[in-house]
Amino acid sequence: MNIKLSQWAEKQGLSYLTAYRRFKAGKIKNATQDEAGTIIISVEDVDDRKSDEIDIIKQFISVMILFCDKIKNIKQIEKQLNQIKEILGDE
């Protein structure tokens, strides 16, 4: 499968400029530039799977961050409830 440099950069999580610099430095495997100047990269399906795996990991991390925030909120609520109980118990 052939994709443009901009598509490849997006899949790698890079800016186009960073990808372009890597291309110019010869650091992108299977990359060529046609007569019109378009940079084409020949990628295998493995790269697509890797990109999908990275997306899944990013989603998992996002969920875990939300979960941790919820736990933090629960602990804060528990602390506030305990403070209220102490106040009410002192009266």
Q: What is the pLDDT along the chain (91 residues), one digit of tens a residue?
A: 899 999 999 988 999 999 999 999 999 988 999 999 999 998 875 456 677 788 888 888 888 888 888 888 888 888 888 888 888 875 5
85, with CB counted inside 10 A (0-12, 13-18, 19+), is exposed
* Predicted structure pTM score: 0.48
pLDDT of amino acid 26: 94
pLDDT of amino acid 48: 60
Please state the φ and ψ torsions of residue 77, each to the nearest 5 degrees: -65, -45
Q: Where are the domains of the chain?
A: 1-43, 44-91
pLDDT of amino acid 90: 58
pLDDT of amino acid 57: 86
Nearest Cα neighbor of 39 from 1, 11, 2 is 2
pLDDT of amino acid 5: 94
Q: What distance in Å separates the CA atoms of residue 1 and residue 44, rounded to the nearest whole number?
A: 6
pLDDT of amino acid 9: 92
CA atoms within 13 A on the CB side of 48: 8
